[in-house]
Amino acid sequence: QVQLVESGGGSVQSGASLRLSCAASGYTYSTACMAWFRQAPGKEREFVSYISSTGATRTADSVKGRFTISRDNAKHTLYLQMNSLKPEDTAMYYCAADPGLCTGDYHSLVGAFDYWGQGTQVTVSS
């Protein structure tokens, strides 16, 4: 049974940093494509970043240069380091997993991922 459990969200001021974590279990984590998505109230879920089993990454333009995705295969944990947070970063952040390989633009789509966590809330005030 696949489980993804996010943590690390919170309420911060504009310009602050947070690090999100996603603990994974129930599948071969080291070979999976892992990603972060976010969803603001009243908006569709949107891609933030993904990381392949080899460490290759893709990141949305809206957060590029501020957010960094990483993974620790030994700990079965995915991370998202978020710096210089802005009020528009306010959203529920979700961890997602696809047991297969990351594939170009396809894995920037919600439908590419089979497994999702429950989310962790990030609120940024100005």
User: What number is the average pLDDT over the span 67-88?
Assistant: 97
Predicted pLDDT at 21: 98
Q: Give yes or no for residue 1 having a pLDDT over 90.
A: no
DSSP 8-state symbol, 88: G
Q: Average pLDDT over the chain, rounded to whole?
A: 95
How many angstroms separate the CA atoms of 9 and 15, rounded?
15
Report whether pLDDT(30) > 90. no
The vertex-1 CA angle with 41 and 102, nearest 5°, equals 65
Residue with the larger pLDDT of the pair 30 and 56: 56
Paired tokens of 126: 């100005």
| % pLDDT > 90, the chain | 88
